[in-house]
């Protein structure tokens, strides 16, 4: 066994997977561009609409889960307010780029500029939260981040003049829909484009965490004191991981705003954080592909319940409750019986099942 | 409305938060977990009470006792099934388990009890103090007319009763002293022959009883629906951490601070922004964790 393999977390993924993801991402974006820039158009059969809608949401949440996995899976930072960075990115993009919103700020700047500012805004918030709270014990970091998310949620609801209250910001430009020939083509192109972006992110993050840099992050999770004692500035690494994750969430928020054409507090509840966390734990934290697969399972439940709804006599909101009960119990069962997740490495995570 | 009236509201809010926060903080101190499902315990208690009043025509005080017994049993059962088996895994897995359990419980309640809100039908007597002179500072009236309803007196009275009982329990009984010993140092407590698992069970029962009482009081004072507990959990948690997680006395103080801040912020905030009061409670929480993480009384939560 070589030295490299014996190091904790020597290599999670065999070389080449990062390149695969980058390749797939690039191809997806190319195909999306073909759909958008040529008169080529797609038609989606009625029954499949829901797959595309959930699929787009999945790739956007995919960015969230990748960022969270960098924070929790690799570095061990228990961020339970991940939705706040998503929301800040989305609101920043919406307020800067929207034109003629019903209520709230709408500045009408170009969307590309807005997207950059959205990412920066989320990163700055991440830096502020990180600088103040990353020294807290794990479970208290969870509480601070959760409280931060709740504070921002309250701000969004209450400052109607700025954030548009419960209605949110309307009239956000939808660049993909504007370019596409019709709404079906726009859905297909959006899924390909965002899916490509998520795949590219997966590739880049895999590169990052396969590098010695990722090894330091995993060492911090395993034992911060030891890592510090070999001369690593652990706080700086934790801070970087936290800010990267926050910026990625802000980017996801920006994409969401530009796809959805509107943002409202209802899109950014604690439910988003819970979904992403459960997806990550189910798949297996610290394995980028696994967390995406776990998230796919959890979000796939939405599809199952959508179709089961058609054949069952129960009311829709009763069905939503049943789905959430199942999701909650999955979380409980995963932590109890497979603490490393389905595809996670138990030895790597230092947990016993 | 004057400041004095809001102080009354604040004391009432603080009272039921305090009752719940004692239970929350005992779980934190002795089982060593943040129980995010704890809000649901309030909801369960309140619904047991409402069911008792509705199905069996029992008077409200009896129903409250039934709810407390039921709440204690439910809490013990949930702990035995969900938390005791993973006691050794550390705080984060237990926190996550409680989040999953909370999600399942909340929706289970919603499924069985529906979305509507319920309340206890009580006769209300209102005590008015109208003669107070206005003492205005700027736009804010410091005194003004004050009223207190009998329901509010019941809530505050129950809280004071709970404080006395919990204090007596913790200082005068073997179980309570064992609880405090475990909160200080579990291994040392075990060495001294304390059956730590039995004490943990006792803490779960006590926490469930307190949560159920807080839930019933919420139902008397306002109303309860499936989402009630969840909307209270962050305030309970803020109170417990503000007071120094693990310390029941700190939790009481923290609860009244939170209650008063929530009520008074409605006086000082411009109209239309009163929804911000909960954000202010969380700001206090974050501030406390950053400046004095050990809270008003309690232990260190900072690692490095």
A13: pLDDT strictly greater than 50: no
Q: Which token pair is B224?
A: 């309860």
d(CA A347, CA A8): 9
pLDDT > 90 fraction of chain B, expressed in percent and rounded: 29
Probe site for chain B from A132, A229, A331, A334 (most B CB atoms < 10 A): A331
B298: pLDDT strictly greater than 60: no
Q: Which token pair is A95?
A: 């307020």
Residue B275: closest C-alpha in chain A: A158
> Under an 8 A CB cutoff, do B97 and A351 touch?
no
Find where tokens 């939405």 sit.
A302
pLDDT > 70 fraction of chain A, expressed in percent and rounded: 92
| 3-class secondary structure, B137 | strand
The per-residue pLDDT for range B119-132, each reduced to its tens digit, is: 777 777 777 776 66
Average pLDDT, integer, range B213-241: 87
d(CA A195, CA A173): 20
Q: Which of B16, B21, B105 is nearest to B64 (CA)?
A: B16
> Under an 8 A CB cutoff, do A235 and B108 touch?
no
Does any CB of chain A come closer than 8 Å to the CB of residue B65?
Answer: no
Minimum mean pLDDT among A232-241, B73-82, B232-241: which range? B232-241
d(CA A169, CA A108): 12
A347: pLDDT strictly greater than 70: no
**Shortest CB distance from B34 goes to which of A139, A147, A224?**
A139
Q: At B297, is the pLDDT very low, low, confident or very high (cuts 50, 70, 90)?
A: low
Domain residue extents for chain B: 3-291
> Under an 8 A CB cutoff, do A144 and B95 touch?
no
The nearest CA of chain B is from the CA of A215 a distance in Å of 21
Q: What is the mean pLDDT of chain A?
A: 85
The per-residue pLDDT for range B172-192, each reduced to its tens digit, is: 988 888 888 888 888 888 888
CA distances from A52 to A59, A161, A192, B204 (A): 10, 34, 10, 46
Q: Which token pair is B294?
A: 């050990």
Q: Which token pair is A10?
A: 């020597």
The nearest CA of chain A is from the CA of B127 a distance in Å of 34
**Shortest CB distance from A150 goes to which of B106, B234, B289?**
B234
| Alpha helical stretches, state H, chain A | 3-6, 17-37, 49-68, 82-97, 111-133, 138-158, 160-163, 175-179, 183-210, 212-222, 224-229, 234-260, 270-283, 288-311, 316-337, 346-349
> Under an 8 A CB cutoff, do B283 and A151 touch?
yes
pLDDT number for residue A9: 47
d(CA A328, CA A349): 22
The per-residue pLDDT for range B96-110, each reduced to its tens digit, is: 899 899 989 999 998
Q: Which token pair is B241?
A: 């951490």
The per-residue pLDDT for range A34-66, each reduced to its tens digit, is: 888 887 777 777 777 888 889 999 999 999 999
CA distances from B136 to B119, B128, B141, B142, B144 (A): 36, 20, 4, 6, 9
List of chain B residues whose C-beta atoms are within 8 Å of the C-beta of residue A274:
99, 103
Does any CB of chain A come closer than 8 Å to the CB of residue B302?
Answer: yes
Q: Which residues fall within 8 angstroms of residue B134, CB to CB, at 6 or more apart?
A: B2, B141, B143, B144
Does any CB of chain A come closer than 8 Å to the CB of residue B301?
Answer: yes
pLDDT number for residue A99: 85
Q: Is the dihedral of CA A129, A134, A140, A146 positive or negative?
A: positive
Domain residue extents for chain A: 15-268
The better pLDDT of the pair B59, B253 is held by B253
List of chain B residues whose C-beta atoms are within 8 Å of the C-beta of residue A322:
107, 111
Does any CB of chain A come closer than 8 Å to the CB of residue B77?
Answer: no
> Under an 8 A CB cutoff, do B96 and A147 touch?
no
Mark B86-111 as b/e (b = at least 16 C-beta within 10 Å): beebebbbbbbbbbbbbbbbbbbbbb
Q: At A313, is the pLDDT very low, low, confident or very high (cuts 50, 70, 90)?
A: low
Probe site for chain B from A332, A333, A341, A346 (most B CB atoms < 10 A): A332
Mean pLDDT comparison of A107-111, A159-163, A179-183, B121-125, highest-scoring range: A107-111
> Under an 8 A CB cutoff, do B289 and A235 touch?
no
| Alpha helical stretches, state H, chain B | 3-26, 38-55, 60-78, 91-113, 150-172, 174-184, 186-191, 196-221, 228-242, 248-268, 277-291
Residue A79: closest C-alpha in chain B: B92
List of chain A residues whose C-beta atoms are within 8 Å of the C-beta of residue B279:
150-151, 154-155, 158
> Under an 8 A CB cutoff, do B86 and A158 touch?
no
d(CA A177, CA A182): 8
A1: pLDDT strictly greater than 50: no
d(CA A319, CA A312): 9
Does any CB of chain A come closer than 8 Å to the CB of residue B153?
Answer: no
> Under an 8 A CB cutoff, do B278 and A328 touch?
no
Pick the CATH number of B3-291 from 2.20.28, 1.20.1740, 1.10.3470, 2.60.40: 1.10.3470
Q: For chain B, first and last CA: distance in Å? A: 47
> Under an 8 A CB cutoff, do B103 and A139 touch?
no
d(CA B133, CA B145): 8
């Amino acid at each position: 066994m070589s030295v490299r393999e014996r190091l904790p977390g020597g290599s999670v993924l065999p070389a080449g997977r990062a390149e695969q993801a980058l390749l797939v991402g690039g191809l997806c974006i190319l195909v999306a561009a073909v759909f958008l820039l040529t008169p080529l158009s797609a038609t989606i059969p009625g029954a499949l609409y829901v797959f595309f809608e959930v699929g787009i949401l999945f790739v956007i949440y995919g960015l969230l889960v990748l960022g969270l996995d960098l924070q929790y899976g690799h570095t061990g930072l228990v961020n339970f307010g991940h939705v706040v960075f998503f929301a800040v990115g989305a609101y920043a993009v919406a307020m800067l780029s929207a034109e003629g919103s019903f209520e709230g700020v709408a500045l009408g700047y170009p969307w590309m500029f807005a997207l950059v500012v959205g990412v920066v805004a989320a990163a700055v918030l991440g830096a502020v939260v990180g600088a103040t709270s990353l020294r807290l014990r794990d479970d208290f970091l969870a509480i601070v981040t959760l409280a931060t998310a709740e504070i921002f949620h309250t701000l969004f609801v209450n400052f109607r003049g700025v954030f548009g209250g419960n209605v949110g910001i309307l009239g956000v430009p939808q660049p993909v829909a504007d370019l596409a020939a019709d709404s079906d083509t726009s859905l297909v192109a959006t899924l390909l484009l965002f899916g490509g972006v998520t795949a590219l992110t997966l590739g880049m993050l895999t590169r990052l965490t396969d590098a010695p840099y990722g090894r330091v992050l995993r060492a911090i999770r395993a034992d911060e004191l030891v890592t510090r004692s070999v001369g690593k500035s652990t706080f700086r690494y934790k801070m970087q991981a936290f800010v990267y994750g926050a910026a990625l969430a802000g980017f996801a928020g920006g994409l969401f705003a530009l796809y959805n054409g509107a943002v409202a507090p209802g899109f950014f509840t604690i439910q988003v954080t819970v979904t992403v966390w459960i997806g990550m734990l189910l798949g297996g934290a610290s394995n980028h592909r696994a967390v995406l697969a776990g998230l796919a399972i959890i979000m796939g439940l939405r599809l199952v319940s959508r179709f089961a709804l058609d054949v069952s006599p129960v009311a829709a909101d009763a069905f939503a409750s049943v789905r959430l009960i199942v999701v909650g119990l999955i979380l409980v069962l995963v932590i109890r019986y497979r603490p490393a997740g389905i595809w996670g490495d138990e030895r790597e995570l230092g947990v016993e099942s | 409305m004057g400041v004095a009236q809001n102080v009354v509201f604040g004391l009432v809010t603080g009272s039921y938060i305090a009752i719940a926060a004692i239970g929350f903080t005992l779980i934190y101190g002795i089982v060593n977990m943040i129980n995010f499902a704890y809000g649901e315990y309030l909801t369960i208690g309140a619904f047991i009470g409402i069911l008792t009043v509705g199905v069996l025509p029992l008077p409200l005080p009896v129903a409250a006792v039934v709810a407390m017994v039921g709440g204690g049993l439910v809490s013990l059962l949930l702990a035995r099934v969900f938390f005791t088996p993973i006691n050794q895994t550390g705080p984060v897995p237990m926190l996550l388990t409680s989040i999953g359990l909370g999600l399942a419980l909340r929706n289970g309640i919603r499924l069985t009890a529906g979305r509507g809100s319920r309340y206890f039908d009580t006769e209300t007597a209102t005590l008015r103090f109208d003669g107070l002179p206005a003492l205005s500072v700027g736009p804010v009236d410091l005194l003004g007319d004050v009223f207190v309803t009998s329901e509010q007196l019941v809530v505050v009275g129950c809280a004071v009763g709970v404080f006395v009982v919990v204090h007596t329990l913790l200082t005068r009984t073997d179980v309570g002293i064992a609880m405090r010993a475990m909160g200080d140092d579990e291994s040392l407590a075990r060495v001294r022959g304390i059956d730590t698992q039995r004490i943990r069970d006792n803490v779960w029962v006590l926490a469930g009883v307190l949560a159920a009482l807080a839930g019933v009081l919420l139902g008397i004072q306002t109303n309860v629906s499936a989402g009630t507990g969840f909307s209270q959990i962050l305030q309970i948690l803020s109170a417990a951490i503000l007071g120094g997680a693990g310390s029941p006395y700190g939790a009481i103080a923290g609860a009244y601070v939170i209650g008063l801040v929530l009520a008074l912020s409605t006086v000082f905030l411009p109209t239309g922004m009163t929804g911000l009061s909960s954000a202010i409670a969380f700001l206090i929480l974050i501030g406390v964790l950053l400046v004095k993480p050990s809270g008003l009384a309690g232990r260190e939560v900072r690692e490095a």
